[in-house]
Amino acid sequence: MTKEWILFFSFMAAAGALGTILTVYDKIAAKVIKRRRVPEAVLVTVGVCGGALPMYLVMQLIRHKTRKPKFAKGFPVIILVQALVLLAVRIWAFKG
């Protein structure tokens, strides 16, 4: 595995961890501590930057934002696009 792929997967892992932490914090802030919540734009941005899959799984697990179309339908679309882009890059990278 090249350095570029290691860097890429490290970035994806970091985005996933950050997204998971923000999602759980937002759930706690909404239900338990009644504190300032994480803006939806931040959650979507982290999802687009690579955290969509772990965020979506955590949202389903803790039942957070599952009724909002932006998250219920948008995150699966983001995950699909990210998977297709990753597949296309992998095919292109190993073509030559």
Round the CA-based radius of gyration of the chain to a whole number and report it: 15
Which stretches of the chain are DSSP H helices?
3-28, 40-46, 52-62, 69-72, 74-93
* pLDDT value for 94: 76
Q: Tell whether pTM > 0.85.
A: yes
pLDDT tens per residue across all 96 residues of the chain: 688 888 988 999 999 999 999 999 999 998 888 778 999 999 999 999 999 999 999 999 999 999 999 999 999 999 999 999 989 988 887 775
* pLDDT value for 93: 77
φ, ψ for residue 47, nearest 5 deg: -65, -45
Domains of the chain, residue spans? 3-93
Task: Please give the DSSP secondary-structure letter assigned to residue 29.
Answer: I
